[in-house]
Amino acid sequence: MTEQRTLAYWQQLATTIEIEGRAFIGGSYVDARSQETFDCISPIDSRLLSKVASCDSADADNAVANAREAFNSGSWSQMAPANRKRILIRFADLILEHQHELAILETLDMGKPISDSLTVDISGAANSIRWNGEAIDKVYDELAPTAPDQIGMVTREPVGVVAAIVPWNFPLLMACWKLGPALATGNSVVLKPSEKSPLTALRIAQLALDAGIPSGVLNVVPGFGHTIGKALALHNEVDSLVFTGSTRTAKQLMIYAGESNMKRVWLEAGGKSPNIVFADAPDLRAAASAAASAICFNQGEVCTAGSRLLVEESIREEFILMVAEEMSHWKPGNPLDPDTNVGAVVDQTQLNTVLEYIESGKEAGAELRMGGDQLHKDSGGFYVAPTIFNGVSNEMRIAREEIFGPVLSCIGFDSAEQAIQIANDTDYGLAAAVWTADLSKAHRTAKALRAGSVWVNQYDGGDMTAPFGGFKQSGNGRDKSLHAFDKYTELKATWIAI
Ligand code: NAD
């Protein structure tokens, strides 16, 4: 259970919280070997939160060596699954015991509303650790259906040292979607948080140790992609690289793996998800409300954001008015206020990117129906008004490229075939939604959509029980569910002559 507090409470906590900016390697906090740091700035008001260790290849070597030593020692990798389960559940409990501290760090660091940090990010992070911990002593290996003079054992073994590189939009949640299955299956991990949001990952490293995860099993190395990220991706002692972030970086990581030890590479990348609304949707108001949430939640900085709204022509005008009304309830404001539902975008660079896309939409001839401006400039923070473009063609940049801001592109269609053609006409394939009361049309459309998650008469449903990931350039492999264990284990066939 999460407990809501007042703005004054969070403001007070924001000024008193102790922030750890050092790397966590081999069970303790350490400076980068180079002693270099970078400034961790809050997007809420541009205040300096902390100096953070700027790790590079020397720290990658140190962290990977610690991870390897821990793995080889068997202290975690050879522990009985039931014991790993107990420790992971304790780790999840500790995350929840520190949920206010972690939520304020998340909000200060990346600008999302405090209520979301608490109820989505921190609770979801704890849930991923708990779910995977609870699962690990309930999965069995296999015996092959062999001839009677053979035993063919099919077993799963931890892959070894896992490097996890994660983005800034759900910093702790994305980290824990990796940590849950990676740790449950017995691996050692070197986690690299985004340089834009390193603070919660650094904090939970100590909580993992406190829970009983042995030293060296979880290491956290903050720093930039082109330094520590690249060093991990090229490292010959990293067995598996798991990533969430942009498609551009994902492609680069495949090259690094090919240039080094052919480490396994698992990628959760970008999206440009279509949200298809047919005229026979069972509840147009619910669809409009979901369409607004799908682009405004987390400031639109969501890989599955419903950024392309495909609406059947016969209801397009009526429906866009409804969406605009729903979006008027999404108001950028102080992220520390528990009533705020849209916070600050992560930094000046991201703000500029979003504003440039808005300009490109106008220049391409799309009709700006709502928003389009920077807000609250006096705060020193980075706020964008929820924005709607109508009359968008699927060829425009605002329909093809991931904006990662609260900018909705509305596209009309005349038939189910045309909707599916437009929906699939994208490099991405992360998610899609369809709204219709016609069961057959819902099934037909869902089946035809080339996406890893499809929602019918809802947007963004799901929990730990189903896999999450992308088709096409949205990535490979899956987070969540027992399928995630595929990323963190090698299959071994052992043949015994009897
Ligand atoms: P990004 O690719 O810029 O960075 C992600 C991580 O990769 C960061 O830690 C960064 O430091 C690191 N990195 C960057 N360049 C690197 C390099 N050359 N070598 C090694 N590491 C490098 O992405 P971002 O801007 O942090 O995150 C936003 C992106 O993440 C969006 O595209 C979004 O769709 C995607 N995302 C995907 C999912 C999913 O599950 N599919 C979930 C959340 C976010």
Q: Tell me the per-residue pLDDT of 430-483, one tens digit each, with 9 for 90 and over.
A: 999 999 999 999 999 999 999 999 999 999 999 999 999 999 999 999 999 999
Buried b (16+ CB within 10 A) or exposed e, 180-217: bbbbbbbbbbbbbbbbbbbbbbbbbbbbbbebebbbbb
User: Residue 430: CB within 6 Å of ligand 1?
Assistant: yes
Average pLDDT along the chain: 98
Closest-lying ligand 1 atom to the alpha carbon of residue 350 = 25
User: Residue 244: CB within 6 Å of ligand 1?
Assistant: yes
Q: Are 64 and 160 in contact (CB under 8 A)?
A: no
pLDDT > 70? residue 137: yes
User: Residue 52: CB within 6 Å of ligand 1?
Assistant: no
Closest-lying ligand 1 atom to the alpha carbon of residue 223 = 11
Distance, CA 249 to ligand 1 centroid (Å)? Answer: 6
Distance, CA 166 to ligand 1 centroid (Å)? Answer: 6
Ligand 1 mutation pick, 166, 266, 302, 303, max ligand atoms within 8 A of CB:
303
Q: Tell me the per-residue pLDDT of 227-268, one tens digit each, with 9 for 90 and over.
A: 999 999 999 999 999 999 999 999 999 999 999 999 999 999
User: Residue 168: CB within 6 Å of ligand 1?
Assistant: yes
Angle at the Cα of 234 from the Cα atoms of 232 and 172, rounded to 5 degrees: 25
Per-residue confidence (pLDDT) for residue 315, from 0 to 100: 98
pLDDT > 70? residue 1: no
Q: Facing residues of 312 across strands?
A: 413
User: Residue 271: CB within 6 Å of ligand 1?
Assistant: yes
| Confidence (pTM) | 0.98
User: Residue 169: CB within 6 Å of ligand 1?
Assistant: yes
User: Residue 267: CB within 6 Å of ligand 1?
Assistant: no
User: Residue 303: CB within 6 Å of ligand 1?
Assistant: yes
Q: Which of 20, 303, 402, 410 is catalytic?
A: 303
Distance, CA 196 to ligand 1 centroid (Å)? Answer: 11
Fold type of domain 274-463: Aldehyde Dehydrogenase; Chain A, domain 2 (3.40.309)
- pLDDT band at residue 3 under the 50/70/90 scheme: low
Distance, CA 270 to ligand 1 centroid (Å)? Answer: 8
Placement of tokens 């299955």 in the chain: 181
- For the chain, the domains span 7-269, 274-463
Ligand 1 mutation pick, 38, 243, 246, 403, max ligand atoms within 8 A of CB:
246
pLDDT > 70? residue 272: yes
Atom 32 in ligand 1: residue holding the nearest Cα: 246
Distance, CA 349 to ligand 1 centroid (Å)? Answer: 15
Distance, CA 246 to ligand 1 centroid (Å)? Answer: 4
Atom 11 in ligand 1: residue holding the nearest Cα: 225
Q: Tell me the per-residue pLDDT of 35-71, one tens digit each, with 9 for 90 and over.
A: 999 999 999 999 999 999 999 999 999 999 999 999 9
Atom 22 in ligand 1: residue holding the nearest Cα: 225
Distance, CA 51 to ligand 1 centroid (Å)? Answer: 22
- pLDDT band at residue 4 under the 50/70/90 scheme: low
For residue 315, give the amino acid letter.
I
Q: Is 303 a catalytic residue?
A: yes
Distance, CA 63 to ligand 1 centroid (Å)? Answer: 21
User: Residue 121: CB within 6 Å of ligand 1?
Assistant: no
Q: Which of 20, 195, 268, 326 is catalytic?
A: 268
Per-residue confidence (pLDDT) for residue 103, from 0 to 100: 98
Per-residue confidence (pLDDT) for residue 174, from 0 to 100: 98
- pLDDT band at residue 2 under the 50/70/90 scheme: low
Closest-lying ligand 1 atom to the alpha carbon of residue 256 = 19
User: Residue 225: CB within 6 Å of ligand 1?
Assistant: yes
Ligand 1 mutation pick, 56, 169, 349, max ligand atoms within 8 A of CB:
169
Q: In this prediction, what percent of the chain has a pLDDT beyond 70?
A: 99
User: Residue 246: CB within 6 Å of ligand 1?
Assistant: yes
For domain 7-269, give its CATH number from 3.40.50.10470, 3.40.605.10, 2.60.40.1080, 3.20.20.70: 3.40.605.10
Q: Is 18 a catalytic residue?
A: no
**7-269 and 274-463 agree in CATH topology:** no
User: Residue 470: CB within 6 Å of ligand 1?
Assistant: yes
pLDDT > 60? residue 81: yes
Distance, CA 193 to ligand 1 centroid (Å)? Answer: 10
Q: What would the mean pLDDT of 258-286 be, rounded to a whole number?
A: 98
